[in-house]
Amino acid sequence: MERFGIKTPVRYGINAFLLVAFILAGYLITQGGALGRAQNIMITQVGVFIILAVSLNLPAGYLGQLPLGHAGFMAVGAYAGAIFWRSGLLAGYGSVVVGLLIAGVVAAIFGVIIGVPALRLRGDYLAIITLGFGEIIRVIIMNLPSITGGAQGLQQIPRHSSFLVVYICVIVCCLVIHMLMKSRHGRAILSIRENEIATESCGINTTYYKVMSFAVSAFFAGIAGALFAGNQGILEPNNFSFMMSIDILMIVVLGGLGSMMGSIIGAIVLTSLPMLMQELMQGINQYRLIVYALLLIVVMIFKPSGLMGTYDFSMSHVLEKAGGLVLRGKKKGGDA
């Protein structure tokens, strides 16, 4: 059968077109004043959680480990970025970019520091040790009031997280992780998930790839943390408790471990739904976590791969499919 193929440069074109279309639509909506302040904050929050979920998906979905300390990396980035922004060393967009980079790099350094020892273990032990590190980071932040504000929190953080900034960060995060996973490094990471011993015997340095995916994940978690700080304007150590790690994990698991599309949809639904529901029905929020927990258990029992499985959306594939159908339809018409 004849296949309707789209050449690679055209695929890039399609993707670039979609990106620009989304950014224009988002920009027009947020700047057009059609949305209130609350909605703007909500959209920014959704973006932050997309970055968190996509970055957690790297070690959890693609590498097949279960880190429970994502909130710790987020906290490190949030405080690093917020402290830089509050110091007012730079102004304008330069300050935003440098602050985000600092947040990412500091978090990535923590990712390596934590990753090297933690990744000697696997499975449940890795889950527990990352949980431990996450909690230690929170305890340290609590107990260094001179730098982090302690339990009182850090206040008056410049609100740098505009829609555009968050959107660009989301794009960069998804793009980097997507390209990483399509490269030979990505195949090495996937093969560690499938069978670590077999991977090692193929001569792949498993420790290197595990630490690398941890560091990349931490980097973006740090950026997400800084964006979170710039959105909220105030940071408290308890924002980054174990429950935050669980919230992010829930998004990734429900969306589908190993599916970027799943993480994005999961983040959009699970972040915006409670806020929208809250407006419709007061007091619904006390049922939120009960529903989440039940969903988590039910999904694990009936569809352990998550709602999207490992499926990833590609516009080019859809166009190819549609094109193939059109082609076949024409052929049939010609025969008759």
Partner 1 sequence: MLFVAQLVNALQLGSIYALIALGYSMVYGIIKLLNFAHGDVIMVGGYIAIFSLAAGMHPAVAIILVIVGCTALAIIMEKLAYTPLRNAPRISVLITAIGISILLQNLAQLFFGARPRPLHIPFPTGSISIGEITLAYPMLITIGSAILSMLMLNYIVHRTKLGKAMRAVSEDTDAARLMGINVNSVITFTFALGAALAGIGAVLYFVRLPVVAPTAGAMLGLKAFIAAVFGGIGSIPGAMLGGFAIGILEVIVNASGFSRWTDGAVFLVLIIILLVRPAGLVGKPTIEKV
**Which residues is 154 bridged to in the sheet?**
235
Cβ distance 183 to 62 under 8 Å? no
Nearer to partner 1, 130 or 231 (CB): 130
Residue among 281, 301, 334, 335 that touches partner 1 (CB under 8 A): 301
Residue 124 binds to partner 1 (criterion: CB under 8 A): yes
Binding mask 206-245 for partner 1 (x = CB under 8 A): ------------------------------------x---
> Quick one: tokens of 306?
């998550």
Residue 119 binds to partner 1 (criterion: CB under 8 A): no
Nearest distance, CB of residue 54 and partner 1, angstroms = 18
Cα–Cα dist 27/133, whole Å:
38
Task: Establish if 308 lies at the interface with partner 1 (CB under 8 A).
Answer: no
Asked if residue 63 lies in contact with residue 213, where contact means CB atoms within 8 angstroms, the answer is yes
Maximum pairwise Cα distance, the chain? 82
The answer to the question of residue 113 lying near partner 1 (CB under 8 A) is no
Min dist CB 67 to partner 1, Å, is 11
Q: Indicate whether 286 belongs to the interface with partner 1 (CB under 8 A).
A: yes
Nearer to partner 1, 89 or 297 (CB): 297
Selected binder of partner 1 within 6, 101, 140, 180 (CB under 8 A): 140
**3-class secondary-structure state, position 235:** strand
Strands annotated E in 104-251: none
Per-residue b or e along 244-267, where b marks 16 or more CB atoms closer than 10 Å to that residue's CB: bbbbbbbbbbbbbbbbbbbbbbbb
Interface region with partner 1, contact rule CB under 8 A, candidates 36-44, 71-79, 115-123, 212-220: 115-123
Please classify residue 316 by burial: count the beta carbons closer than 10 Å to its beta carbon, then call 0-12 exposed, 13-18 middle and 19+ buried: middle
Given the complex with partner 1, which of 64 and 230 has the nearer CB atom? 64
Nearest Cα to 165, choosing from 103, 100, 214, 210? 100
One-letter amino acid of 122: R
Which of 127, 154, 248, 268: binder of partner 1 (CB under 8 A)? 127
Binding footprint of partner 1 on the chain (CB under 8 A): 64, 66, 117, 120-121, 123-125, 127-129, 131-133, 135-136, 139-140, 142-143, 197, 242, 246, 249, 253, 257, 286-287, 289-290, 292-294, 296-297, 300-301, 304
